[in-house]
A and B are shown apart, each in its own frame.
Chain A
Amino acid sequence: MTDAWTTAGGTIAGATIATAATATSSNATPPLLSVESLSTLIHTPDGRALRILRDVDLTIEAGECLGVVGESGSGKSFLARTVLGVHGRTDRVETTGRVRLDGEDLLSAPPRRRAAVLGTGIAMVHQDPMTSLNPVVRVGEQIVEAVTNRQRLPRGQRRALAARLLQSVDVPDPERRARAWPHELSGGLRQRAGIAAALAGEPRLLLADEPTTALDVTVQRTVLDLLDRHRVERGLGVLLITHDIGLLSGRARRIAVMYAGRIVETGRTEDVTAAPVHPYTAALLRSVPRVTGPLIRTLPTIAGSPPDPASNAPGCPFASRCDRAEALCSAEAPPLVRVSDSHTAACHRPLIPAEESCS
């Protein structure tokens, strides 16, 4: 390895492209999910064009959990919705790139084929269990939707299926809960119901969009453990979106850090958290509250706010908030380059001093 800073732009971030051998073997069995240079442009009613995602590359293998982390507005949720292919009714979204599920590109697939994947190929767990269940439809009826949208089931079978699904997510007294209205359940139970609804169609990929943000810390852990269990048992691929990078340790094998619609750093969770390369990742890690150390102290925050998605300013989007920025940073966007075999970052002034520097 004479030059560690090989450009990885345009290929699958995180995937090994080091040797020809590994490249061919990954071609033989395509990853469960492979997102390739995914970009989206939203056309707003007032005529502006917002770039929400810019050249996003990522892969998820079956049974693997990829953590996507970033602050509010970095495009994490939008990434999930784009992978799913379901946007707001009124959004005019222009999407380019590839979203491959088991090798099949969904973006270029006909609408009917894409609809067939919803709930059965890819399923989603939403952030707020208080708003993601229809208040006037019984919990059980909603949980079984992924199945009943495709085939008619008599009421007795629907109830039995709902109860079985609720039981699989550790909801006590599942028969009664299936007949309950959403408002009769606690937040934790509702999120379990949301997970049960996502699992109903036996999907291969689960997009979990901040599934525990709205929950008590005590409940958070059990819900995440539940997701882990199903990931392992079913070989489910999980895209776990969170703004809390600390939550990913021990749960996600790899991390992708998003900023302003770009992936700015990816790598194995332990590598990224132990030795972040991008100053933004480092800042995110500093802002995680610690149990050790002085009891009262100021939690470090990142000054400033992410750039306006309507702006087309050149350079690194983090430059204005970065204490390491230099002239080049606001002139030219840094490409995503490799730090090591499985670690990439997009930064002109990376935190690891590059021994074999990139002059």
Chain B
Amino acid sequence: MRLRLPGAGRAGRAVGVLLAVVLAAAALPHVMPGSAALAALGPTATPDQIAAYDRRIGAGQNVLSGALHWLGGAAHGDFGTSLSTGVPVATELGERIPVTLELFLAAQLVALAIAVPLALASAWRPGGLLDRIATAGAFLWLAVPGFVLGLVLIWVAAVQLRILPATGWVRFGQDPAQNLKDLVLPALTLGLTEAAVYLRTLRAQLIGTLDQTYIAAARARGMATRRLLVRRALRPSALPLVTLIGIGLGMSLGGSVLVETLFAVPGVGNLAAVAIAGRDFPVVQAVVVLSAVGVVGATVLVDLFYRRLDPRIAHEHR
């Protein structure tokens, strides 16, 4: 007889995924091109120095013992020390994760504030003027790379209008007003790009929902259009959007390399970009595992949220 615990299969899969990623991350020093030691010590390093350095980062170990070593440290909150700065990786991440999450949340607000009303209005009259403009616009928008949009925003807001800083970051705790100003351009760049994806996804789903009998039934009871759309059509249409946001949340823990670099936002993505260029393996390793934790964690969150959105899902899994 097999013992079945609720959620056991899912938790098991999540642990499996995380272990696989830890293993892969431990293999990084072996598979990444170039020598970490050479990158760190410079071309004048002696063979002895290089050997000592390799021992320090575990490049000489086999992958499995490297992974176990890393896990042992991680269990105590020790993710190693940055090779380039000498700062503990845990400290570094602790400072950068809040920045990345703040940027993510602000970008989601921008994306949803644009996508949801537009999707509702477009889906109510598919093929109408607004729908055609929004659909064509979203399509064009998707073709614009994020960094191009970022550059345009910098040019307009920072260079021409001089109302917002082009780059830089002040912590919210230090100066909330300045922090929000710093946040605007990167959040817009991320959010506007996502808005196009959200708009297309939500619109398609809403059109299907609005054809349902229960929508006609609610109209027949005299429900006004706006209330009908927001209170009755949005929720049954939201599942794919929630999935997208969840994936975005998971990926965001790894940081948005492009936007954080462009605007010099000191988030995880910025850290990762610098670490990869400098062969800073402990940092890269930690960021890779963090991304995996983010994706797995977000998947669980999405699952839980699904059940809140659609009671039938909770029913099936009971």
Contacts and interface: CB of A to CB of B under 8 A. Distances in A.
Interface string A3-41: 000000000000000000000000000000000000000
Interface string A103-118: 0000000000001111
A134 B218 contact: yes
Interface stretch (B4-12, B174-182, B193-201, B221-229): B221-229
- Listed residue (B124, B210, B220, B224) with the most chain A CB atoms within 10 angstroms of its CB: B220
Contact of A136 (B125, B210, B217, B309): B309
A136 B239 CA distance: 12
A242 interface: no
A126 B222 contact: no
Interface string A92-128: 0000000000000000000000011111100110101
A131 interface: yes
Interface residues of B, number: 28
Given A136-B235, A149-B227, A183 B312 contact: yes
Given A88-B211, A89-B125, A136-B309, A118 B218 contact: no
Contacts of B44: none
A89 B214 contact: no
A232 interface: no
Main DSSP-derived SS at the B contact region? helix
A136 B222 contact: no
B223 A149 contact: yes
Contacts of B219: 86, 118
Interface string B170-213: 00000000000000000000000000000000000000001111
A183 B310 CA distance: 11
A240 B260 CA distance: 64
Contacts of B124: 89
- Listed residue (B210, B223, B235) with the most chain A CB atoms within 10 angstroms of its CB: B223
A201 interface: yes
Contacts of B312: 135, 181, 183
Interface in B207-260: 210-224, 227, 232, 235-236
- Listed residue (A89, A90, A133, A149) with the most chain B CB atoms within 10 angstroms of its CB: A89
